[in-house]
Chain A
Amino acid sequence: DGGITQSPKYLFRKEGQNVTLSCEQNLNHDAMYWYRQDPGQGLRLIYYSQIVNDFQKGDIAEGYSVSREKKESFPLTVTSAQKNPTAFYLCASSIGADSPLHFGNGTRLTVT
C-alpha cells in the first residue's frame, strides 16, 4: 500500500545535538511538507518542497534544515540552533494543487 513513513516514532536527544527525522513516501507525490505541532496548538509549517532539489522556508524554519535529493525522501534536521525543539513533527505530501495532504504518523522528539 502507498503511504508516508516517518521514523523513528519517538526520539530522545540531549541538548546541543543535531538530529535528523526521516520521511519517505511511495505515493509519487511531488510536494512534501514538514510541520511542527506543540501540545494544544495547531500545525506550523517548517519547510516544504514542490520538486526534487528545491525547497522553501515555512513560517518557522529557523533552526531547521532539509534536503530533497530524491522525490521519495524529505529528511528534516533539527539543529542545535533550534531553541525549543521538543515537539511532535509531522511530514506530509500532496499530489499538487487542490489535492489533500497525506500525513505520516509523526515523530515525537524530546530534547533534554
Chain B
Amino acid sequence: RKEVEQDPGPFNVPEGATVAFNCTYSNSASQSFFWYRQDCRKEPKLLMSVYSSGNEDGRFTAQLNRASQYISLLIRDSKLSDSATYLCVVPGAGNQFYFGTGTSLTVIP
C-alpha cells in the first residue's frame, strides 16, 4: 500500500461549483498534513496545513478523519483560477515527506 493515495481525476467542474478531493494515508501516527497547489510547469505552493481536525481559509476547507485515515480538501464557489493539480503531502519518519500523485482540477466557464 502506498503511503499516500489520491484520486488523480481529472475533475472538471463548472464555475461556482463545490468540489472535494480525498487523500488517504497509511501511517496512523502522522500528526500533520499538507495540501499544495501546483500549476502547470511550476513549483508546488502550500495551500493549507492541517494539524488537528481541520482548517479553513476562505473558500478552502481541509478536514481530517483520523479514524478512517483520510484528509479531504473542499473548494467552494470554484473559480477559473482554481484550475491546478492539488497535492496531498504527509510527513514521515526521518524528516521525509510522502506525496500523493496529485488530483487534477479544471474549472470550466
Chain A interfacial positions (CB closer than 8 Å to B): 31, 33, 41-43, 45, 48, 50, 56, 88, 90, 94, 96-106, 108
Tell me how far the C-beta of A8 lies from the nearest C-beta in chain B, rounded to whole angstroms.
Answer: 15
Task: List B70-105 residues whose CB lies under 8 Å from chain A.
Answer: 87, 89, 91, 94-97, 99-102
B49 on interface, CB distance cutoff 8 Å: yes
Contact call B43/A104, Cβ cutoff below 8 A: yes
Q: How far is the CA of A95 from the CA of B96 in the complex (A)?
A: 12
Which one of B34, B97, B102 has the greatest number of beta carbons of chain A within 10 Å? Answer: B97
Residues of B within 8 A of A (CB-CB), count = 22
Chain B interfacial positions (CB closer than 8 Å to A): 31-32, 34, 41-46, 49, 51, 87, 89, 91, 94-97, 99-102
Contact call B96/A48, Cβ cutoff below 8 A: yes
Interface residue from B31, B41, B45, B95 paired with A94 (Cβ < 8 Å): B95
Tell me how far the C-beta of B48 lies from the nearest C-beta in chain A, rounded to whole angstroms.
Answer: 10
Q: How far is the CA of A45 from the CA of B92 in the complex (A)?
A: 13
Interface residue from B46, B51, B99 paired with A42 (Cβ < 8 Å): B99
Complex contacts, A99 vs chain B, CB 8 Å:
32, 91
Tell me how far the C-beta of B85 lies from the nearest C-beta in chain A, rounded to whole angstroms.
Answer: 10
Q: How far is the CA of A106 from the CA of B43 in the complex (A)?
A: 6
Contact call A33/B97, Cβ cutoff below 8 A: yes
Residue of B nearest to A43 (CB): B99
Contact call A42/B42, Cβ cutoff below 8 A: no
Contact call B46/A88, Cβ cutoff below 8 A: no
Q: How far is the CA of A50 from the CA of B97 in the complex (A)?
A: 13
